[in-house]
Structure 1
Amino acid sequence: MGPGNAPAGRRAPKLPPRPAPDAPVDSEAATLDINQKAAFREELRRQQKAKQRAEKATQQEKETKNEEEAVATVRNDNGRKHRGRRNSTEFIGQPMEPVQQLKLDGAKKAKIPHFLSAWFNAGHDTKATNDTDNSDAESAKTDLTIISVGEKDVKAEPAKQEANAVAKPPPAPVEVAKDKTAMKHRPTSYSQNINFSEITLGRMIGEGAFGKVHEGKWRGKSVAVKLLICQDLRSDILNEFQSEVEIMSVLRHPNICRLLGACMEPPHRALVVELLQRGSLWGVLRMNRKSIDQEMRSRFIYDTAKGMSYLHHFERPILHRDLKSPNLLVDKNFNIKLSDFGLARVKAHVQTMTGNCGTVQWMAPEVLGNQKYTEKADVFSFGIVIWEIVTGECPYDGMSQIQAALGVLNRNLRPNIPRDCPPFFSRLMKACWNRQPELRPSFPHIVNAFRTYQSSISESRATSSAAASAKAAMAASVAAS
């Protein structure tokens, strides 16, 4: 339809007149027009880039603000006081470093501990990114931290933070300083070498650091038989296995799972220990969550601390190295007994042969970073166990092992303490989770703190009961009159 045939009511657009074919072309004007268009396009591109930069800066500012808000939401209970009489064993000190509750988007390969590198490179974490941000640049604190222990204050200087990851196998732990006040125990000669033919194996009831665990019968007694998954041991590891079994066989404590004997001959190398029918604390916390009251949870924690104090202050101190709820067994009276402790080189050999890197959710930062560690690594793991007992949940649930390990190692990640957690447990957890091992309390200090805490609870209950009785008596006398 031409311009002249426009429908009624609409006016046809007026078109510019066409130049005559022979009309001269103004080349200077045409060149100027092209330059103007090019300049306009360049200005438009510049404005678009500036807008993109501004949007990116705004987004980064929002992310930084969100991270700061997440850190700010973490409660600091170090200054909170327990209602009632103040405990002389409160864990007082400088606030912990900000605890960031987050899920890592990826892994920094340069900071993967040596024993986790094979697991990560196998492709278990598909969210790896090229994030090179180093969030572990924590400033060293120069203030002294005081942890009140009974009537004695223990002061410790913060140690300079070491590198997070070292490309070498984990070194041997530093020897634990012996406590002169600790009970003295002298191992006797080991005589309980069990012939495997005397054992009747039953159903499999679990799988631990050494291998599969079966119910069994030995000399008419119900026992648990831990079959060593790697029967072919080097001579040095076998010698250490025999040496540590000798020591473990003489341990006697209400909160230690008793070793009855061991089968030393291949292909049936195994440990024979007492059988506890309720199984592990891991299962008890999940199967009986509603029936476990606060008093029972407190007893679980106290029993664990007493057992660990006994191990650390044996004549030859014993580090657990794998303290977690699956390794805490429960007897018929709901008493806790520690198992799967010691035998570090045998466990390391098993992990090397099977490719299993262990349960990193309970490991201390210095262990994850392949640094030298002491008995204070067990104290860190104990703090995670307290959190398990309080919440009944799995630490870092929803995160892979590599995410949890890198979070603890590089981001100071810790489990989120619930708001209804008793203040004493909250302070104790945070003290155990201190980044600097020397500032964590020892197990004898923890046991003393628990005794004072339980004493204050008992006094509070007695006072409440007396007040209730007096009120009831007064009401009865008023009613009688």
Structure 2
Amino acid sequence: MQLTHLCLIMPSDYDKLEPLHATPQTNIKGSQKKVKSRKQHPQGACCGGHVVATLLHGSLTRLCETKWWNNLCQHGTRRKTKQIKSSCVVFHDMEGVQLSSMIGKDSNINHPRIFSYAELYIGSRGFSEEEVLGSGGFGKVYKAVMPSDGTVVAVKCCLAGKGGQFEKTFAAELAAVAHLRHKNLVPLRGWCVFEDQLYLVYDYMPNLSLDRVLFRKNMKEEPLGWVRRGKIVKGLACALHYLHEQLETQIIHRDVKTSNVMLDSHYNARLGDFGLARWLEHELESKSVCGIFGYMSPEYVESGEATTAADVYSFGVVVLEIVSGLKAVDFRQPEVLLVKKVHEFEMRKRPLEELADIGLNGEYNYKELMRLVSLGVACTSSDPKLRPSTRKIVSILDGNDKLIMGENMESREDWRERNACSLSLVKRIQALGIQ
């Protein structure tokens, strides 16, 4: 067994503790002299809680510097293993809070809660780099095991920026988002605001994210099968349909991409970060672009206005990635933008089966392949009016091919004109030699 972290949790009212030898205050004469004498000491010097905290801090610091502690931390590890740096951290925390009062008291629903920083710190082993699941524009994601019941969760860290004010303004709204339940969404269990950091706690997905499985680095690993690919597309479509059309207050995701599509133990698609997207809509005082190049629609790049049609465009890009096994943007490819490559295939009437992922070795359903490619092309139309709604997308995936056959095709000139901004950016990046 290797000991890497030692965390001592003091009671929340530890600063009110009195030393054992302290004499209770009474109303008898002479007691005022004792009180006055206490005031002569520095603030907190005679408070038992502060004395205990100071002694613990000093003792643990000295302990971390001893040879015995270093030997204990490295016991059972190989010599090649990097030595763990000893550190002593003291922080003030708040209690975890259940938020059922904000969103109702349905006993059949797992209500979101405010987690304490201590349980997240302990569960992630001090936010160890070894527990990092991934990182993105918002920050790192850590795997954590809750010390109370052993539940495995994923903790996403990002800047809150406003500290306590954030909680007052957005706690009720995040609670409402956490209350959303759909089989194709990653449930938001709750959050924690500590100093300038916001920690969002989600259910842990055993198969991590779609991009890790689809764009596998180890080519010896088995590629994602065709049946699972179709299942993932359908699940993602259902999640967006739920957010766009099945809620009283519509939610626009703003950042649909393969790294935000998580996979559970049965490879069901679970769309994540929908809570962050809604928070960002409030945080951004002006229209600002929030997304990844290659997934953003032409009109969103130019205006910064988030719409359901922009989400559908991003969904279409993910569909084309799933079919082809290629990334949305790859400067190592002759055609950098996957969307441009696919639209060129469509406009020049080239065989669409050539777009199928070579890792499938021809093991796919031809009719389903044609359906997904056609759907991806329709969703990534440069004209938002030509893109299908999520309701229509779900119907097409259920086999209603007549809906997609009637979609209007745009000309090559129109496509290039509307995508001029993205095409220009690609040329500038290529000129700089950036891969």
Match of 1:257? 186
Instruction: List aligned pairs for 1:207-218, cutoff 5 A.
Output: 207-218=135-146
Match of 2:204? 275
Instruction: List aligned pairs for 1:44-83, cutoff 5 A.
Output: none
Match of 2:229? 297
Residues 1:198 and 2:145 aligned together: no
Q: Secondary structure at the match of 1:277?
A: coil
Cα distance in 1 for residues equivalent to 2:295 and 2:375: 16
Matched positions, count: 260
Q: Secondary structure at the match of 2:397?
A: helix
Cα distance in 1 for residues equivalent to 2:168 and 2:229: 39
Higher-Rg structure is 1
Deviations 1:36-80 (A, max 9, x none): xxxxxxxxxxxxxxxxxxxxxxxxxxxxxxxxxxxxxxxxxxxxx
Match of 1:246? 175
Cα distance, 1:265 vs structure 2 = 3.7
Deviations 1:156-215 (A, max 9, x none): xxxxxxxxxxxxxxxxxxxxxxxxxxxxxx954876111111222141111133211101
Give, as a single letter, the amino acid of the residue that structure 2 aligns with 1:270. Y
Instruction: List aligned pairs for 1:131-150, cutoff 5 A.
Output: none
Aligned partners of 2:255 and 2:290 also within 8 Å:
no
Identity of aligned residues (%): 30
- Cα 1:235–1:431 shift into 2, 3 Å: farther
Aligned partners of 1:210 and 1:350 also within 8 Å:
no
- Cα 1:392–1:270 shift into 2, 3 Å: same
Q: Secondary structure at the match of 2:134?
A: strand
Q: Which runs of 5+ in 2 are unaligned?
A: 1-101, 106-110, 126-130, 357-368, 402-435
Match of 2:302? 369
Aligned partners of 2:254 and 2:290 also within 8 Å:
no
Cα distance in 2 for residues equivalent to 1:349 and 1:212: 22
- Cα 1:364–1:356 shift into 2, 3 Å: closer
- Cα 1:226–1:191 shift into 2, 3 Å: closer
Q: Secondary structure at the match of 1:361?
A: coil
- Cα 1:358–1:448 shift into 2, 3 Å: closer
The partner residue of 1:391 within 324, 328, 331 is: 324
- Cα 1:413–1:281 shift into 2, 3 Å: closer
Match of 2:75? none
Give, as a single letter, the amino acid of the residue that structure 2 aligns with 1:295. V
Q: Secondary structure at the match of 1:264?
A: strand
Instruction: List aligned pairs for 1:401-440, cutoff 5 A.
Output: 419-420=352-353, 421=356, 422-440=369-387
Aligned partners of 2:300 and 2:310 also within 8 Å:
yes
Match of 2:433? none
Q: Which runs of 5+ in 1 are unaligned?
A: 1-185, 455-481
- Cα 1:432–1:331 shift into 2, 3 Å: same
Q: Secondary structure at the match of 1:269?
A: strand
Deviations 1:434-470 (A, max 9, x none): 222132111111111111259xxxxxxxxxxxxxxxx
Match of 1:77? none
Aligned partners of 2:257 and 2:318 also within 8 Å:
yes
Cα distance in 1 for residues equivalent to 2:282 and 2:259: 20
Give, as a single letter, the amino acid of the residue that structure 2 aligns with 1:221. T
- Cα 1:448–1:215 shift into 2, 3 Å: same
Cα distance, 1:293 vs structure 2 = 2.5
Deviations 1:130-180 (A, max 9, x none): xxxxxxxxxxxxxxxxxxxxxxxxxxxxxxxxxxxxxxxxxxxxxxxxxxx
Q: Secondary structure at the match of 1:273?
A: strand
Aligned partners of 1:285 and 1:392 also within 8 Å:
yes
- Cα 1:443–1:236 shift into 2, 3 Å: farther
Aligned partners of 1:321 and 1:378 also within 8 Å:
yes
Give the structure-2-normalised TM-score.
0.53
Cα distance in 2 for residues equivalent to 1:349 and 1:364: 21
Q: Secondary structure at the match of 2:274?
A: coil
